[in-house]
Structure formats: C-alpha cells, structure tokens
C-alpha cells in the first residue's frame, strides 16, 4: 500500500526542462517534488559534451546535469526516484500522480517533462541483440566497440553527431540513411564528412541484425531503396538514432496533440487540461534542444505560480497569455 504525499507542484521528469522548472517553482516558494525513474539529467546523461549551451564553449553532459540538479536543490526542490505510471485529474480539479509502488503525489498543478523514448526499427534481430551489439546510446556503449566496425542508422542531428563521436572508439563507422541527404544541421554534417573513419551508405535501410553462435551481433543486412538490392555490412555494433516518441502515455485523459503525438500547449505551456503543463521534448515545437527545453520550463513554472494564485483567488489567468489576470 502506497503513501499519499501533498505538494503544490509535481514535476514528472528530471531532464533539463524538469530541473529548470523545479528551480523556478522553488524560487517562487512553491513546495515542489521532481519524480524521475533514474538519475537526474535526462538526455544530458546520453550526451558527451555540448558546445551550444550559451556561456559554455564546451561542457560535459553529466557536468551540466549536475549543475542543474544542484541549482534546483538550492531553491528547495525535492528529487524522488520513482517510476510514474499515471497522472490523473480528480473531480476537484487537482491531480493524482501515481507511481508503480502505489505512492500518490497530490497537487493542484503538474508539469510534465518526461521527454521521449528512442524509436526502434522493428527489424528481425533488433530486440534479440539489444545490449549485444544493438544500442540506442553512443556515450553509454561506445567504449565497448574499440577498434571495431559499427553502423549508425539515421540521418538527423543525433545520428550524425553520435556517428562522429563513435569514431573515437571504432575503427570504422557506416552511416545508413534512407535518403540521399541528411536532415542534420550543416555544422554537424561538415564534421561528419571531414571524418575519414566514416562512410555514408545513402538510400538504404536496415533490414536485419545478424548474430553469431555466441549470441553477439556480427552483421547488418541493408537494402537499397532504389534498387531493392540487399547487402551485408560486417559490423559488430548497430546504433539506432531514428527519433523519439513522446512519453505522454502516463497522462490519463485526452489532451490536444499533433499528428506525431507531441503535446500541444498554449503560450503559457498549459495543455488542454487545466492545471497540467508541459515542457521540453514531449511538447510540439520546431526544435528540441537544451536551450528550448529550459525556455519552455521557465515559462511553465512562472505560469504555474500564476495559475495557483488565480486558483486560490477564484480568478482566471488572462487567456491572452500576457501573464496577467482576467478581470
């Protein structure tokens, strides 16, 4: 039997958005808890270093994550290791955030910053050889492939950046992309094309992961989408970066979303469910960077403060999103 806890704000997820939101709600003297199933940091823990965090020419992902956490704690935010299963709105308009241990966190406002989960290819051998050659995290597993030949599947920023990163370990990296050009930013592409260890396999898709008698990956079957010809890359590793699905399944009520399932919010980061706010990678937007995540979170946290004040006074927040109150 779980325990019921009372907070003014519950934040689901401790990535950059969650920790930034916690900093601001803490500064506003709101009793805040951040629920995270793992270590605080989110995708920062899967990023070796950043060169686009303003004010830092280069900073390690885990180092920035620790700075975020320490700063949020400084303003009173509590961090609890918990796996959230549902966020439900109750009859009185407040929320019950439930964990897999049965604990319930009651609050009048919730900020969901749960990020996303890597999308899988869904090909034969992918699940069988997960952790035995197949990976979705270069910084986590790259060191296991020293002097080996590996494949990276994808063509966006993550795929191109991680392929470049993996060359510090691997002898050769194939980048398998279904189109004849990358979607990644130009600066990342320039780095990739300048790297002699990388070979791009254009207009191709992964069809099957092959393994040896020891249960380890030994090759990747690919198919050219123009000719339908198949071939095999002699690769002992396959890193898959084809996108993320927003972790919105915990929300136990219909909410407005885009065709990809990302949450649509108003200018104050409030979802179509009053009192439920969203920030970071699970929100529908043009780009998903640390800078945009913390921008979302700043707005969400300040909006939550105004929402709670308006709720206690029996008024409403100005629907124009000005930060004032309706008269």
**Contact (CB, 8 A) for 141 and 48:** no
Q: Considering the candidates 140, 180, 234, 258, report the single residue annotated as catalytic.
A: 140
Q: Considering the candidates 20, 141, 238, 281, report the single residue annotated as catalytic.
A: 141
Note if 20 is an active site residue. no
Note if 140 is an active site residue. yes
Q: Which positions are catalytic?
A: 137, 140-141
């Amino acid at each position: 039997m779980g325990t019921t806890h009372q907070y003014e704000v519950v934040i689901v997820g401790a990535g950059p958005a969650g920790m930034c939101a916690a900093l601001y709600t803490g500064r506003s003297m709101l009793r805040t808890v951040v629920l995270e199933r793992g270590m605080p940091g989110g995708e920062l823990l899967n990023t070796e270093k950043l060169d686009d965090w303003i004010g830092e020419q280069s900073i390690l992902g885990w180092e920035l994550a620790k700075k975020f956490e320490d700063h949020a704690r400084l303003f009173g935010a509590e961090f609890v290791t918990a796996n959230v299963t549902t966020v439900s709105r109750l009859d009185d308009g407040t929320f019950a955030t439930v964990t897999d241990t049965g604990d319930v966190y009651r609050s009048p406002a919730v900020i969901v910053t749960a990020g996303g989960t890597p999308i899988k290819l869904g090909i034969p051998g992918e699940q069988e050889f997960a952790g035995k050659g197949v990976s979705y995290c270069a910084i986590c597993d790259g060191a296991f492939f020293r002097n080996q030949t590996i494949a990276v599947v994808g063509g966006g920023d993550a795929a191109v950046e991680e392929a470049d990163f993996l060359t510090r370990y691997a002898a050769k990296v194939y980048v398998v992309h279904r189109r004849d050009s990358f979607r990644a930013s130009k600066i990342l592409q320039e780095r990739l094309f300048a790297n002699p260890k990388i070979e791009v396999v254009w207009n191709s898709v992964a069809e099957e992961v092959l393994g040896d008698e020891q249960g380890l990956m030994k090759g990747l079957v690919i198919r050219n989408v123009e000719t339908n010809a198949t071939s095999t890359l002699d690769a002992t590793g396959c890193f898959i970066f084809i996108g993320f699905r927003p972790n919105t399944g915990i929300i136990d009520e219909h909410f407005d979303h885009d065709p990809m399932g990302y949450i649509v919010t108003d200018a104050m980061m409030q979802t179509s469910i009053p009192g439920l706010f969203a920030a970071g990678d699970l929100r529908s937007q043009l780009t998903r960077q640390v800078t945009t995540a913390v921008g979302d979170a700043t707005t969400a946290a300040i909006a939550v403060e105004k929402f709670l004040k308006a709720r206690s006074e029996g008024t409403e927040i100005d629907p124009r999103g000005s930060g004032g109150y309706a008269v």
